[in-house]
Amino acid sequence: MILSQKYSRPAFLLTGAAITATLFYRIPAINSWLTEICFFWHPLFWCGLSVILWYLPRPHLPAPLRFRDLFPGLAISCMAVYTFLQFLAGFLLNEIAVSPYDLSPKGILINFANLLPPIAGSELLRAYCIGASCRSSGRPAFRIVLGAFILGAMEIPFTNITTLHAGEDWFIFLAEDLLPPLAQSGFLSLLTYCGGVWPGILYRGLISIFFHVIPFLPSLPWIGNSVLGIAFPVLASFFIWDQYGIATHRAKWEKPQSILSTTILMTVCIALAWFVVGVFPVYPSVILTGSMEPEISPGDVVLVEKMKTEKNIDTLSKNDIIHFRRGDITITHRITQVLHDKDGNLSFRTKGDSNDDEDTETVEPNDVKGIVNHAIPKIGMPVLWLKGHESTPEGVIDNETP
C-alpha cells in the first residue's frame, strides 16, 4: 500500500531526530558549546523542529475526530489531580519550600521561552511518530511503544550514571530518574493516540506554567517523586483508555464535560492544595504525640486559625490551645498562663493536657502560628507513621515517646 510506504520513512527519520536531540540535551560538552554560541539554542531548536513538523504532511491519528473534543478536558483534569497530589504529598511529608525559579516578570518570560517550545516540539514529534506508525505496515504497536521509550529517554539524566557506585545508588537512579520519565512518556503517547497532539501539550504545558509561577513548591524526597512519578501516569493511562473505550463504543454520543466543569474541577483541586499548604486563614496540622490526650490524640488533624496581627495575639487567654513554633517544628499545647512583664510584653506558659509539668520555655508572640479550633480524628495517621520518629524540641515537655 502506497500510504504505508509513504509514512514509514519519516517515522524513522524523526526517531533519529529525537535521538539527536537527546544527545544535545544530555552531553554536557555539546550543551555548553551550543550555549556559548547562542544562549537560546534550546528553545530555538525546538521552535525550528515544531515549524518543520507543523508544515510537513502529517498522518492522521487513529482516534475518530468526533471524539477528540473529550481529551483536552481530560488532560486538564489529570493535570489538576497531579498538581494536587504533588502539593498534598509535600504537605504530608512537610516538604514545602520556596520556589527556586525567578518569579519576576522577566524571569517568568525567560522560563516560559525555555520550557514551552520543547513541550510543543516534542509533543508534535510524538503525534507525528504515532500517526506514521499507525499507518505503517508491520507491528505499529511496537513502533508506538518504541517511540514512547525514545521520547521518554530524552528526559533521563544519563550523565548521572557516572556518579553511581553502590547498588543503592543504582536503585535510586532507576526509581527516580529512569522509570518516571518512561511512565510519563507512555501516558502522553496514549493521550496522543486517543486525542491528538493538543491534550499532551495542555497537560505538560499547564503543569510547567503552574510550577513556574507559584511562589512555593513541594520538595519531595526521591521516594516521593518516584512513587508519584510512576504510579500517577500508570493510573492516568488506565483512566484515559477507559474513557476512550466508553467514547468509541457508545451507541449515542453525548457531549463530554464542558470547559466550565473542567475549570471548576481544576480550581477545586488547586484550592485544596493551597489549603493543605496553609495559604488560607485556616490550615491543617497533624498531631504526632499524645501530649494533648484525651482531647487530641496522635494521628488527629487539627484545624488552626492563623494569628497574624498583634490584635489577634492579644485575644488569646488561658485554656486556649495554640499552635506554636519551637525550632524547626510546631507544637500544639494549651495555654496555662498569660504573662506580662514590667514593660507590658506578652508571653505564654503552655502545657500538654496529659503532661505532668508545664513546658520549661515560655512562648513568645512571634512564635504563635494560630489557635486550634477543631480536631478531626485519625485522618492524619499516614503522616504519623512517616514522621512519628521526630524528637520533642528543647523546652517542650512531652511524657509520650514520639
pLDDT in tens, 105-159: 888 888 888 888 888 888 888 887 787 777 655 566 676 787 788 778 777 777 7
Which 3 state secondary structure label does DSSP give 267? helix
Residues 63 and 195: beta-carbon distance below 8 Å: yes
Lowest-confidence pick of 54-58, 142-146, 388-392: 388-392
* Chain segment 145-154, per-residue pLDDT in tens: 877 887 787 7
Residues 193 and 141: beta-carbon distance below 8 Å: no
Q: State the span(s) of the chain assigned CATH 2.10.109.10.
A: 283-387
Q: What is the pLDDT of residue 333?
A: 92
- Give domain 283-387's CATH number out of 1.10.3720.10, 2.10.109.10, 3.90.1170.20, 2.120.10.30: 2.10.109.10
Q: What is the DSSP track for 141-167?
A: HHHHHHHHHHHHHTTS-GGGGGG--SH
* Chain segment 236-292, per-residue pLDDT in tens: 888 888 777 776 665 344 444 445 555 565 566 556 655 665 667 888 888 888 888
Long-range interactions of 145-150: CB distance < 8 A, separation 24+: 145/186, 145/189, 146/15, 147/11, 147/15, 147/18, 147/189, 148/182, 148/185, 148/186, 148/188, 148/189, 149/182, 149/185, 150/15, 150/18, 150/19, 150/22
**Cα dihedral: 289, 290, 295, 297 (round 10):** 60
